[in-house]
Amino acid sequence: MQSDGVDEFRKRSNTAGAISKENAKRWTKRENSANLELRCSIDPELLRNNLEKSNYLEDERVRLSGSVFHKRADYDYLLSIIPPAKFNGIHIKMEDDCPQGGDDVRLCLLKSLGARNLREVPCVMCHNHLPVYDKYPLIDGTFYLSPVCQYGYQVEVLFDNKRFFLQQICVECLWSNWNCNICQRAGWFLGQTYILGTLYTFDIVSSAKRCCSPRCSYCQMHLSISPLVVQQLMQGCYTLLNEKIACTACGSCNYHCIRHLDEITVAKFQNQNKLEV
């Protein structure tokens, strides 16, 4: 009798097929879902040539440590830049932060760099070379992905099924004053907020809150885009940075929203670790 009452209630409330419809739902197939994993993009010919040129069995670092990358002995350099209060797992990516089996980002970066025999990478701002370490923090700075390689080696990786270039900024430049050469404004880039020694999957320079509207990378004319898109770019919407935009002035189609590094001046501090934050 109770089941008959429930059925009658479902008929009157038009929910008789609710359970069957819910059971009919299926999870989205994995191949149709967004692929946000980071993967290597290594040319087999490049890897073959690198193996022929380099004999890792005779390499002194490989013989002593078992890795082509550096092993971190101390954190003296980082402590000379950042305040001691910032030396923790919140502001620096530490090896203990990685759960077992969740080390895909580190392995992908080391594989991509090792395939090109790159044990040091240059900072895109000051061009100083940064040693690459085999464990977190990977560099004394931070890596980031950009659709445009503005300086350094063209190390490609795949993210969201798209090709990006690996770029990096040292900790000294991150903890310095950034000035725009166009409008002479400062304070728009907050490099001290980024975690050191890890990877950001977007262009951190271009995604910073803009002080100037984007220009064409060829003719330097202001892009004719909708005010809504301009507002999103000024607020740091980094998803628009990975899209090519056509310039109405010269017709070139490129990643015009990526901020050019020659538009920026970095004024390094003399005593970084004395800064008040």
pLDDT tens-place string over residues 24-67: 444 444 444 445 788 888 877 777 777 666 665 556 666 665 67
Q: Answer yes or no: is 147 within a domain.
A: yes
Q: Answer yes or no: is 240 within a domain.
A: no
Least confident of 41-55, 113-127, 216-230: 41-55
Q: How confident is the model at residue 16 (pLDDT cuts 50, 70, 90)?
A: low
Q: Answer yes or no: is 257 within a domain.
A: no
Residue 243: the pLDDT is 82
* Res 144 pLDDT > 60: yes
Greatest extent of the chain over all pairs of C-alpha atoms, in Å: 84
Q: How confident is the model at residue 244 (pLDDT cuts 50, 70, 90)?
A: confident
In angstroms, the CA 202 to CA 90 distance is: 20
Q: Answer yes or no: is 5 within a domain.
A: no
Residue 195: the pLDDT is 95
Q: Answer yes or no: is 66 within a domain.
A: yes
Q: Answer yes or no: is 243 within a domain.
A: no
Q: Give yes or no for a contact between 59 and 114, defined as CB atoms under 8 angstroms apart.
A: no
Count of domains in the chain?
A: 1
Q: Which of the pair, 58 or 228, is modelled with greater confidence?
A: 228
* Res 13 pLDDT > 80: no
Task: Please state the rounded mean pLDDT for residues 176-191.
Answer: 90
Task: Please state the rounded mean pLDDT for residues 224-243.
Answer: 72
**How many angstroms separate the Cα of 267 from the Cα of each of 89, 114, 239?**
27, 32, 29
Q: Answer yes or no: is 192 within a domain.
A: yes
In angstroms, the CA 164 to CA 195 distance is: 20
Domain that holds residue 124: 30-208
- By CB neighbour count within 10 A (0-12 exposed, 13-18 middle, 19+ buried), where does 149 fall? middle
pTM score: 0.78
